[in-house]
Amino acid sequence: MSALVHSAGFAEAVATHQHTLNALLQSPELLDIAVQWQFKVPELGEGGACSLFGILADEPYDLTAILGGVTAQSQQLLAKATTVVQYYRQHSQSHWFGVYQARVNPQGERVLVKLAYFGAESRAEFPLTAEFAQISNNSSVGLSGRGRIINDVEAYVASGGEYYTCDPKVQAEACLPVFDEQGEVIGIIDSEAFAKEFFSGQELALLLAVTTTLSAVLA
């Protein structure tokens, strides 16, 4: 993995994606991007720890409160996050991808909130607590700032790794932190695939480009 990341071809792929993404995020067409303020979410199990896959809550999740209302700033944030998600979807074979920002919800809890995604319905907020980090890659990465790439979920769980299962078809997952200029974690990206050994080569280059580009978006 280290040799791959430091190869000229890999670095060129990352830089190409970064250049294209930055151009898209500065385009006047950004104003016309359709954003999603509400989305369906799974019911949570007892205690709110686990999502009940395939069983949707009656009420959709609404981003309005946690983003401080429908403002020009929040609209632009969602438009940029949506643009990044659309770009990733066009260039990846992944089956699920989401962009999360670290925020304090209306209940005063620090969480990762999902701004935009594609794929099956999933949890909207992940608590940024040590307790929840024990079962959730998202929360663990959001707290520690250390990315996690699991290219064989079944083997990872069999070896004792804790794993938050939302979609049982997922066989590989990559969760990477997004940092601001001061090195603080301001969000994460999460990508899931239904095939093992998925996150390498061009898929990994795309992930790194997206993650670094989001630093300016989520700050």
pTM for the predicted model, two decimal places = 0.93
DSSP for 37-95 reads: SEE--EEE-GGG-SEEEEEE-SSPEE-TTTTTSS-HHHHHHHHHHHHHHHHHHHH---S
Q: Which residues contact 140 (CB under 8 A, 6 or more apart)?
A: 133, 134, 146, 148, 175
pLDDT at 213: 98
Q: Does residue 3 carry a pLDDT above 60? A: no
Q: For residues 101-119, give the mean pLDDT.
A: 98
Instruction: Note the pLDDT tens digit of each residue in 51-62.
Output: 767 789 999 999
Strands (E) across 73-204 are located at 96-104, 110-118, 125-127, 148-150, 172-179, 185-193
Distance, in Å, from the CA atom of 100 to the CA atom of 72, rounded to the nearest integer, reads 19
Find where tokens 């369906």 sit.
Answer: 40
Q: Does residue 2 carry a pLDDT above 60? A: no
Among the four given CATH numbers 3.90.480.20, 3.40.1390.10, 3.30.450.40, 3.40.50.970, the one describing domain 2-218: 3.30.450.40
Look at 95-104, 152-161, 208-217 and tell me which has the smallest mean pLDDT. Answer: 152-161
Question: Who has greater pLDDT, 216 or 31?
Answer: 216
Q: Are 113 and 127 in contact (CB under 8 A)?
A: no
Q: Does residue 4 carry a pLDDT above 70? A: no
Where are the chain's structural domains? 2-218
Amino acid at residue number 210: V
Q: How confident is the model at residue 163 (pLDDT cuts 50, 70, 90)?
A: confident
96 phi/psi in degrees, rounded to 5: -155, 140
Closest CA to 25 of 97, 72, 70, 85: 85
pLDDT at 91: 98
Q: For residues 4-28, give the mean pLDDT.
A: 91
Look at 125-129, 132-136, 144-148, 206-210 and tell me which has the smallest mean pLDDT. Answer: 132-136
pLDDT at 44: 81
- Rounded percentage of the chain residues whose pLDDT exceeds 90: 81
Find where tokens 């959001």 sit.
Answer: 142
Q: Are 75 and 60 in contact (CB under 8 A)?
A: no
Look at 66-75, 123-132, 157-166, 171-180 and tell me which has the smallest mean pLDDT. Answer: 157-166
pLDDT at 181: 95
Q: For residues 189-213, give the mean pLDDT.
A: 97
Give ∠ CA 44-45-46 in degrees, rounded to 5.
125
Distance, in Å, from the CA atom of 98 to the CA atom of 188, rounded to the nearest integer, reads 8
Q: Does residue 6 carry a pLDDT above 70? A: no
Please report, for residues 40, 84, 113, 138, 175, the alpha-carbon distance to residue 21 in angstroms, rounded to integers and kept in the order given. Answer: 28, 7, 22, 24, 20
